[in-house]
Structure 1
């Protein structure tokens, strides 16, 4: 869905996208305001997306009205790959987000006869399968405190261990971890009281991890 998004000329592709297509695909760059839908569940999966700035959540609405977030996509990430013709999840922007949009067919055409592309695609798919398996384990076997600790370590790793992590809101975290908003807040309080993290500011969305090694023990 490209409604309420501003299009611009695409910059040279990079990262996973360049490795897959060899720089031989045409793309457009769109800007989505916070909360704007990028595509909806059940829509035709015509495009692949790469984030140049911002963040995106992909999710599914359950029959009882609850929302399950299956992934957060950050700068440099690609999303929108499907094994069928329609999207299994919806996607929207967590903050103002810029994405490159490429026709899926263009990538497949560019990949033909490129062994390096095949290897890159296998690696990329394997990484996504590993994330899905880790998320399934997190939802099915870990306590609430272990889930929050695992989430913090995941974000820290993906952001290359920044001095300060800027998180999404607590509702998004709860819907990703499969727990309640109140449970997320209690877990953060426990980790703060254990001197494993420190909040910066009143919103409690910016935090510093004080002891990654001890925090990892909750995720053992």
Structure 2
């Protein structure tokens, strides 16, 4: 089942009430982000949904009834604090999953940075299938473990690294996720990067300029970055 065009904006509530166990529905393995694409949750049925740029896919405190796999585009996982500040916890790219909650509701919102296509999978159906099929259980475990690993690395990034190390680490990670050591295209804004790294937008811009002045990167545009010395970025990431 697939929703397109204007129907996409009004289809989510309807889709969440549909049975996802109909025979013949399968997930096509996604590609593009090796860290978040273990093997696909093979054999599970789902609904393909399309979201326009800026749309909310999941709201905070929504019932956590579904697991989402990003097939195309980029999703930000974020939380708005009581004083209006925003923390971005992750950027999910093609092949990545979100919605693997430990509780019954979503702690963070999920928003489409670009036009996004996701596969929405019933969490209860996934768990039931995992009980019958060890391969599906292993795939679910890998998704959960990789998301935990990403959270741990993000905590280190926020807590112990300098602004230069944070930006270098971020650019190196984006290069790895896009499979390129020559250039990267950043789908997110400078403000998104700042809210992900716990910096101000001014610090992000200043540090990008610092890296460009040192010859480590070249800024073709604010989002298109040439990697002149990727090994230096990798060193900042792993220092």
TM-score normalised by length of structure 1: 0.90
1:192 aligns with 2:212: yes
Distance 1:79 1:66, change over 3 A: same
User: Do the aligned partners of 1:43 and 1:86 also contact (CA within 8 Å) in 2?
Assistant: yes
Cα deviation digits, residues 77-102 of structure 1 (max 9, x gap) = 11111011100100110001111111
Distance 1:121 1:215, change over 3 A: same
Pick from 118, 122, 125 the counterpart of residue 144 of structure 2.
Answer: 125
Q: Provide the C-alpha distance between the structure 1 equivalents of 2:73 and 2:111, rounded to a whole number of angstroms.
A: 11
What is the aligned partner in structure 1 of residue 106 from structure 2?
A: 87
Query: CA offset at residue 119 of structure 1?
Result: 2.6
Q: Provide the C-alpha distance between the structure 2 equivalents of 1:6 and 1:46, rounded to a whole number of angstroms.
A: 16
Q: Which segments of 5 or more consecutive residues in structure 1 lack a partner in the other structure?
A: none
Q: Which segments of 5 or more consecutive residues in structure 2 lack a partner in the other structure?
A: 1-6, 16-24, 31-36
1:164 aligns with 2:175: no
What is the aligned partner in structure 2 of residue 31 from structure 1?
A: 50
What is the aligned partner in structure 1 of residue 79 from structure 2?
A: 60
1:45 aligns with 2:64: yes
SS at match of 2:132: coil
Pick from 2, 5, 14 the counterpart of residue 29 of structure 2.
Answer: 14
Pick from 183, 191, 194 the counterpart of residue 203 of structure 2.
Answer: 183
TM-score normalised by length of structure 2: 0.83
Query: CA offset at residue 5 of structure 1?
Result: 5.7
User: Do the aligned partners of 2:76 and 2:88 also contact (CA within 8 Å) in 1?
Assistant: yes
The size of the alignment, in residue pairs, is 215
Q: Provide the C-alpha distance between the structure 2 equivalents of 1:68 and 1:209, rounded to a whole number of angstroms.
A: 27
Query: CA offset at residue 123 of structure 1?
Result: 2.4
What is the aligned partner in structure 2 of residue 174 from structure 1?
A: 194
Q: Provide the C-alpha distance between the structure 1 equivalents of 2:236 and 2:181, rounded to a whole number of angstroms.
A: 20
Cα deviation digits, residues 154-188 of structure 1 (max 9, x gap) = 11111112643111110000000000000000000
Query: CA offset at residue 76 of structure 1?
Result: 1.2
What is the aligned partner in structure 2 of residue 139 from structure 1?
A: 158
Q: Provide the C-alpha distance between the structure 1 equivalents of 2:27 and 2:203, rounded to a whole number of angstroms.
A: 43
Aligned-residue CA RMSD (Å)? 2.3
Cα deviation digits, residues 7-49 of structure 1 (max 9, x gap) = 89x77432558643x31x3211111011100011101011111
